[in-house]
Every structure is written in structure tokens, then in C-alpha cells.
Structure 1
Amino acid sequence: MHEYSEIRRLIKHRTKEEMAIDSTSWLTPKRLLVFFCAINMLDYIDRGAISTNGVNGNPRTCSESNVCSDGSGIQGDFDLSNFKDGILSSAFMVGLLIASPIFASLAKTVNPFRLIGVGLSVWTLAVVGCGLSVDFWSITICRMLVGVGEASYISLAAPFIDENAPVAQRTAWLGIFFMCKPIGVSVGYFYGGLVGANLGWRYAFFGEAILMLPFAILGFVMKPLQMKGMLNAKVIPGSLNEEFSKKDSSSYVSSTLNKLSRFGQDMKALLSEKVYVVNVLGYIAYNFVIGASAYWGPKAVYGIYQSDNVDLLFGVITIVGGIVGTIGGSILLDRMNSTIPNALTLLSIATFFGAVFCFSAFCFSSLYVFLVLFLIGEIFVFANQGPVNFVSLHTVKPSLRPLSMAISTVSIHIFGDVPSPPLVGILQDKVDNWRTSSLILSSVLFLAAGIWFIGIFLPSVDRYEEDSEHLGTRVEQLDVTPLLESKVANGDTISALL
């Protein structure tokens, strides 16, 4: 009992010191949101740029008289088939798959912002490597390393944002973060088309690296912050945690086995949440369509309607649909009361109507009718970004939230937008008709709507406020500083930490 009182005294002492430091910190919750949004947008600008006609280009073609063109962009320079070209869109998944669980696990004991700094440094160097690549394999390897950079922040950003957002605006703040996906892709269409056409596709990658470099540096110098359920260990001298830490660090093998065992337990707990699993399955089907549409969309629209400025048109539709849909869906869920059943209801309804409008758009021969219907469809489709991630965060206990985001991200990529671009490439090579390929792809959205509809009827528990960590774990949260909690007055501070 005396030891417990001493620990509480030390917590109170350290907390007062940290509050004094935090009162002068520039990193407010809104600035934290801006930081993550900027990183997310740059990541997706890269995704959009590599799919444009200006950067991705067109394959070499030969006429009946054996007169061949050189093609353009990446596809022309490296003489890539549609299948190989589609692999470039999916190659980043290798790095993401390996790195995401590692970053999520390390975040329990390592300052997460240092992890982000390491990942973004790798991302920056990898993007430069894309610009310097000499063949298909060199650019493919660099795209894999780009996935490592994404892994460093994708599992940490959403939990940080959700914890520090105003309670009545949690989904809206998440929506703002995930809105950066369609906006980033859209800006990437403009950026890639402009830079690729005027300077060459390699310079598009060099420009991205320059823009990301300041955020990589900021990741190394930014002050550590508190995340619910995380260890971020700095052991109190003389406590039981110090004894455990010394014993644990005495053997590297033992430490590694302990971490693997903990990871296995976390995965088992995560997969036991049926609503979480169903939510991710729906997200996989949804992302299968989004990934292929983002990569092949400009080429498909050009192939069907033979319109100039395809990159611009498709970019405008995506950015408008992304902003209106993402913000609208997130605000609507907050107004409905942010609960898991309400989120799943919104997901199923919005995806169903999105499927109807996107499928119908490709049935018309008029470009203007297509643009209107496809825009409406994208508004419904992008309304899912806030709610789907709300479900992933709130169906698991706090200590599993980074891992839940990591596994969700890995799953939607490895089973969704990783296989879909090459598969649609194969489909297009077979049918040689972009309208048919687009109709088949759009129909997968009906599957996503059906999966989320099933989730509505499963029993669900919002575990956001669950405190799964024992006292020792909570005591270890002393080298990190909360954002909103720093405003809690005097005696309430200890209860906020404990």
C-alpha cells in the first residue's frame, strides 16, 4: 500500500512538471490534426500522380505495318504491359504488410513520433529512388519501400486524432483526416499530369520528396505525446516496473519471445471482435473498387469517352466527391449519435446508393451524364471514410487501437487495392472494353454494402473507455504528454492519467 502511494506521489509530481512544459507547447490538437493530414495528403498525392497519363504514360504500340511508337511515361519507358503496370500500384503493399504490425507493436515502448520520423525518411528516399529508377524491378522495389513510410503513421494517426478531438466531433475529425485520401489522389492527378507533361515523370517524384522532407524531420524533433493504452515506457526508479525491465532486458531472446507472445495475444483478442472483423471485410470489398478506380480511372474514362483533359476531369470529380462525401458522412454520423450500429447502418446505405450511381454512370454514352452520375456516386462512396474507421477504433480496447488500424490497413490493401489494379488490368487485356471492365468493377460495391448490412445485426460494444492495462502499464506513461488532458485542473489530472 505504501508503494502504491509513493507511485501516485511520483505521478503527481511528474504530471505537474509536464503540464508546465506543455503549457508552452505549440502542438495543440488542431495542429496535430494538420500534421497528420499533411502527411496523409502527400502520401496520396504520390498515389494519384503515379496513375496519371503524365507520369504513368501509355504503352508502346505497333501498327499493322509494324511501325511502333515509343509510348510515354513509366509504362512507355519500361515497356510495361497493363498487368505489370498494375503491379506498380500494388508493390507498396509488401513494405506496408511487413512494417505496419512492427510499427504498431513498437509504439507501445518507443516514442511514436520517432517511429514516424524514421518511416517518413524511408518514404522520402524511396520516392527519390522512383525518380532515379532504370527498369521495372528498380521502381518496383522503391514502391515497396514507399509502403514502409505509410506504415509508420497510418496505425498511429487515427488513434491520436480520435483521442484528442472534441467528443462531439470525433467522427468529423477522423473524416477530415481520411478526406485527405481523395483530395490527395485528386491533387496527384493535377500534379502528375502537369509535371509529367512539362518536365517529365521523374521530376514528379523528386517534387514529392522535397515536400515530405520537413515532416520527416519534424517526426524526429516533435515532443512525445500520450496515447491511451500505450506503454511508452520510462520506468520509475525503485518501482516494480524497474525490476521487471531489468529482468526483461537481460536476455534479448527472452525479450523477443515476450514481444511475439504479446503480439499473438493481441491478434487473438483483435480477431475475436466479430464486428471489427465484419467491418474490415466490408472495407476490403470497398477498397477493392476504390483502389482499381483510382489507378485505372483516368485511362478508363479516356478509353470510353475519348475526352481531352481526362486527368483534370477525373481529378475534379474525385476532389469534389471526396470533400463533400467524407465531411458529409462524418458530420451525419456525429449528428445521428456516434455509435457502432449507426456507423454500420450509414456504411451499408451509403455504399448501396454509391454502387447504384457509379454503375449507372458507365451505362450512358454521354460524357456529361456520366460526370453527373459518377459525382453523385462518389459522394455516397466517400461518405464511408469517417464511419468505417470509427468502427475499427471503437470495437477494440484502447491498447489494441494502433494494431487494429494497422491490421485494417494491411487487410484492405493486401486483399483490396493490391490485387484489384492488376486483376482489372488482366480483365481489360481480355475484354478490351473499358466500359465492361468498369461495370464489373463497380458491381463489387454491392458486395461491400451487403457485408456492412450484416454487421448491423451483430452484438457490439463500444470499448473506447475500457482500461485494459494494469497499474504497472499506466505508471509507465510518464515520458509522454497529453494534449487535451493538459487542461485538466489540479486533482483531476491524476484521475485522467489513472
Structure 2
Amino acid sequence: MIRDSISSTLAPQPSWFTAKRLLAIFCIINLLNYVDRGAIASNGVNGKRSECTKSGTCSSGSGIQGDFDLNNFQDGVISSAFMVGLLLASPIFASLAKSVNPFRLIGVGLTVWTFATAGCGLSINFWSITICRMMVGVGEASFISLAAPFIDDNAPVDQKTAWLGIFYMCIPTGIAVGYVYGGLVGSLLNWRWAFGIEALLMLPFAILGFVMKPLQLKGFSHTGSKRPSTSVQTSCTEAVTSPCQDGSSQTRNDSMDDSKSAPGILNQFTRFWMDMKVLLLDKVYVVNILGYIAYNFVIGAYSYWGPKAGYYIYHMNNADLMFGGITIICGIFGTLAGGFILDRMTNTISNAFKLLSVATFFGAIFCFAAFCFKSLYAFIALFAIGELLVFATQAPVNYVCLHCVKPSMRPLSMAMSTVSIHIFGDVPSSPLVGILQDHINNWRVTALILTSVLFLASGIWVIGIFLHSVDRFNEENELQVSVTDRSNTIPLLGETTQKSLINL
């Protein structure tokens, strides 16, 4: 009788989502995000300015750079413009996740992304496309901050970094596909079509964020619901809890006292700064992000200037296809290998730092050596090995971001990670590399100077090995009842949750 009553009370409506379907959807969305980045960097979309010889003969320009007559600095600004929106919006979406369902926030963000990307294809000058790129960043901010915590909730305990590896594999793969995609669309149609097609492909996922039954994140309980959350992953969020009639625990959310203490917006800002203070005082988090900044400084410039550098250094007529092919293969195998290797080592924060430092150091050696050779074949072989090692860092570095903080702070942790690596990493790197190249006019030397920054990233991550680290994934569960503790190894899915409760 008791089991029957629990079953009828707690059984959620069947959801189309399973853990693997959720991962697949997020991977496709992430892939489209980075296809866009690869496409705008491709020679087919980015193009080149018109050039004049000493004799006065001028060739016509092509792509964005040719149509808007941009110098290398302006061209670099376009590549980084979307970061401005991403940086401003990421903390906002992370904070809103405490009062608005994160799954719905992703739907809002993808809608903004879709319309902004279409706007890029309709732009008429440098400023119009720059503004549209900023809005693309605003749309992406919700997804970047919230997707990884959803995956971390649903992944099997012994495969968490492997699942993160699959998700972050879409970064190099998307950029590489974007190179090829941009080159083909730019040559067959026009660079404007590349953005229009991207918008059409993302539209169904934007709609999905609004029409599908929303999921909850571990560590969050939204006051908009009149009933206590039945999800074992979200029944406790703050430090004050009390027993519920259904056997779970009810959370006293701070926002319930907003009317008595301070306006809601002021309360949000206060909570945000308190959480920020926690992050900035966490040595493990800070060291991890500092290494990630140096790493992303190089990767961001590689992704944007790579095809153009290859074109001028090795006279690659098919630079888009060449860099795209190398990045696809090395990105897939490198990112997946990083996740699976850390799981085999036992996915701890200390082991993650060991893998980060070693893989980045040897990756830097191979990439640096690649640009020293004049032979195209030697470059391809060495650079491929270097990228394979460098991309092995994607899953471990994000694993540290997710597990060095308590569950309710994971969206903010991911948001500030994104803000930091972009504002200090690839936002300045593309324009700075453009300025450096304008000054020295030697792509080989420019590439060598850029690659040397990877050694700095490796040295910073070495420090993390010796720091005292604690995995805080289950920290908030100390305040929850035993049924919640048992569910930590179970994905956040209706059927599984129901069975675990009934079997009690």
C-alpha cells in the first residue's frame, strides 16, 4: 500500500529525454556553435582584402574582409566581437538559473543566437556585423554556462569525464567542420549564405527549449513551483532545510524573503558577489582558470588565423580543408582520449591537473617544432601530434571547474570560466596576433611566438597538482535525507528516480 501511494504521488510524467539523448542534443547544439566560429575564420567566408602590386595592378577582394575592406585588426575584432555579448551575458544567465528553470534559459539563448546569426548574413558594414556578432555571444552564453552541469548530473559516475569529453569534442570538430563548410559555401554561393543556413539549423533546437518538459539541475529549487520538487537531485539547494511530508526535504530559498529584506535585484547582486568571492578565494579554481586562459589564448588565435597562416607559410591553396581535416581528426581523438584517460586514472582533481600539465607541455613541443620546418609534410605530421595532445585537455579542465565547487555554483563556475578564458584569452589574442603580423609581416615567426604561450599554460597547471583539492560534487547532500544520497549515482531521469524511491 505504501509503495503504491508513493508510486502514484511521485511518478513523474514520462519524458522523451534519456541521458544519452540529452547528451546527443547538447552535442549537436555545441557543434553548431563552433561551426559558426570556424566558418567566419575560413577563407571562404572571411576572405581577403583587395591587394595591389607595385606596378599598380590590383586584385579584387573576397568574403567579409573584401566586401567591407577590413584591415587585419578590424578582421580580428569581428572574430572576437561575439565574446563581448558572451562575457556580459554568461554571469547573468548563471544567476538567473537560481530563479528560472535552466532548461528554459537555454531555449531563450538559442533563440537569440538564431536571429543574431541570420543578422550576420544580412549585415551591410563593419559595425552592423560586429553588433550581430555580439548578439550571437549573448545567445550562446546560456548554453555554455548550463549545458555542462546538465551533462555532469546525468553521466554515470565512472564516465563523467568521458561524457564531458564527448561534449567538448564538438569544439574542435565544429571549428574544423566550419572551415570546410565556410570554404564550400563561400565558393559555391556567397559568404552570407553560410550564416543563414546556420540559423535554420539551430531553429529547431531553440523551439525545443520551450516545448519540451524542462529538466532540473542538481542543487537548484525554483520558487516558481508551488510543490516541493520531487527530483532527488534538486530537493535541497541552500543551507536551511526542513522535512517535507513526502519524505524529501524542503528548501527555504533566500528569494522568499526578498519582500522583507531588499528588492529582488539587489538580492541577486548580493548573492552574485558572495558567490564570486567564494570562487576567487578557491585556489584550485583560480589556478585551473589561469592555465585555461593561457591555453585558450593560443587555441583562439589558432582557430582564427590558422588557415591564413597556413596559406602564406606553406602556400596551401586548400588551407581551409587542410586545417579543417587535421583539427577534426585530432580534435575528436584528442578530446575523447583526454576524458577516457582521466576516468581510467580515476577522475580526481589532482589527476586532472597531472593530465593537463603533461599533455599541454608535450603538445606545445610538437606544435612549436611543426612551425620550425619548411616542409609541408613535416609540418602536418608534427602539428597533428601536437593538436592531439593539446585537445586532450578539454574534458579534464572542465571537470575541475565542475567538481571544485558545490553543485549550486556550477553554472556560475562555468560562466566565469567562460568569461575569464575569453576576456583574457582569445578575445585579445586574435587582434593582438593581427597587430603582431602587421608589424613583423612574417607568419612563421608570429606562429612560433604564439605557440610558446602553451608552455606557460603547462607550468601553471603543474602548480595545481600540489594544491589541496576536494571534490565538492556531493557537498550539499549532507543536508539531505538518505534517499538523496543513494541517488547521486543515478541520472536525472523520471523512470530511474521513480524506481529508486519505490524500492525503498
Q: TM-score, normalised by structure 2?
A: 0.90
Q: How far apart are 1:381 and its partner, in Å?
A: 0.2
Where do 1:205-216 residues align within 5 Å? Answer: 205-216=195-206
**Which secondary structure does the structure 2 equivalent of 1:362 belong to?**
helix
Are the counterparts in 2 of residues 227 and 482 from structure 1 also a CA contact under 8 Å?
no
Q: Which residue of 1 aligns with 2:235?
A: none
Q: How far apart are 1:494 and its partner, in Å?
A: 11
Are the counterparts in 1 of residues 153 and 491 from structure 2 also a CA contact under 8 Å?
no
Are the counterparts in 2 of residues 329 and 386 from structure 1 also a CA contact under 8 Å?
yes
Aligned: 1:414 with 2:406: no
Q: Deviations over 1:358-386 (max 9, x none)?
A: 00000001100100000000000000000
Q: Which runs of 4+ in 1 moved over 3 A?
A: 12-18, 239-247, 468-471, 488-495
Q: Which residue of 2 aligns with 1:123?
A: 113
Q: 1:95 aligns with which of 85, 96, 105?
A: 85
Q: Deviations over 1:235-287 (max 9, x none)?
A: 449x9979976653589x61111111111111111112100110000000000
Aligned: 1:248 with 2:258: yes
Q: How far apart are 1:482 and its partner, in Å?
A: 6.8
Q: 2:30 aligns with which of 40, 49, 58?
A: 40
Return closer, same or farther for 1:245/1:460 CA change in 2, 3 Å cut-off.
closer
The AA in structure 2 aligned to 1:70 is S
Aligned: 1:147 with 2:137: yes
For the residues of structure 2 that align with 1:395 and 1:337, how far apart are their CA atoms? Answer: 16
Q: How far apart are 1:181 and its partner, in Å?
A: 0.3
Q: Which residue of 2 aligns with 1:229?
A: 219
The AA in structure 2 aligned to 1:397 is K
The AA in structure 1 aligned to 2:144 is I
Are the counterparts in 2 of residues 398 and 468 from structure 1 also a CA contact under 8 Å?
no
Q: Which residue of 2 aligns with 1:19?
A: 11
Q: 2:208 aligns with which of 215, 218, 233?
A: 218
Q: Deviations over 1:278-325 (max 9, x none)?
A: 000000000000000000000001110102211111100000110110
Return closer, same or farther for 1:332/1:414 CA change in 2, 3 Å cut-off.
same
Q: How far apart are 1:16 and its partner, in Å?
A: 5.0
For the residues of structure 2 that align with 1:133 and 1:181, how far apart are their CA atoms? Answer: 26
Gaps of 5+ in 1: 1-8, 476-480
Q: Which residue of 2 aligns with 1:86?
A: 76
Aligned: 1:159 with 2:149: yes
**Which secondary structure does the structure 1 equivalent of 2:44 belong to?**
coil
For the residues of structure 2 that align with 1:448 and 1:460, how far apart are their CA atoms? Answer: 19
For the residues of structure 1 that align with 2:279 and 2:367, how far apart are their CA atoms? Answer: 34
Q: How far apart are 1:20 and its partner, in Å?
A: 4.0
Return closer, same or farther for 1:242/1:433 CA change in 2, 3 Å cut-off.
closer
The AA in structure 2 aligned to 1:177 is F
Q: 1:111 aligns with which of 101, 124, 128?
A: 101
Q: Which residue of 1 aligns with 2:361?
A: 352
Greater shift in the superposed pair: 462-471 or 79-88: 462-471
Return closer, same or farther for 1:295/1:246 CA change in 2, 3 Å cut-off.
closer
For the residues of structure 2 that align with 1:56 and 1:168, how far apart are their CA atoms? Answer: 42
Q: Which residue of 2 aligns with 1:372?
A: 381
Aligned: 1:313 with 2:322: yes
Aligned: 1:438 with 2:439: no
Aligned: 1:361 with 2:351: no
Q: Which residue of 1 aligns with 2:237?
A: none
Are the counterparts in 1 of residues 153 and 492 from structure 2 also a CA contact under 8 Å?
no
Q: How far apart are 1:64 and its partner, in Å?
A: 1.4
Aligned: 1:52 with 2:45: no
Aligned: 1:74 with 2:83: no
Aligned length: 476
Q: Which residue of 2 aligns with 1:294?
A: 303
**Which secondary structure does the structure 2 equivalent of 1:368 belong to?**
helix
Aligned: 1:174 with 2:164: yes
Q: Which residue of 1 aligns with 2:397?
A: 388
Are the counterparts in 1 of residues 101 and 216 from structure 2 also a CA contact under 8 Å?
no
The AA in structure 1 aligned to 2:284 is V
Q: Which residue of 1 aligns with 2:186?
A: 196
Return closer, same or farther for 1:485/1:458 CA change in 2, 3 Å cut-off.
farther
Are the counterparts in 2 of residues 225 and 482 from structure 1 also a CA contact under 8 Å?
no
The AA in structure 2 aligned to 1:432 is N
For the residues of structure 1 that align with 2:440 and 2:255, how far apart are their CA atoms? Answer: 61
For the residues of structure 1 that align with 2:491 and 2:377, how far apart are their CA atoms? Answer: 50
Return closer, same or farther for 1:467/1:378 CA change in 2, 3 Å cut-off.
same
For the residues of structure 2 that align with 1:332 and 1:71, how far apart are their CA atoms? Answer: 46
For the residues of structure 1 that align with 2:46 and 2:377, how far apart are their CA atoms? Answer: 26
Q: How far apart are 1:189 and its partner, in Å?
A: 0.7
Gaps of 5+ in 2: 229-243, 245-249, 485-489
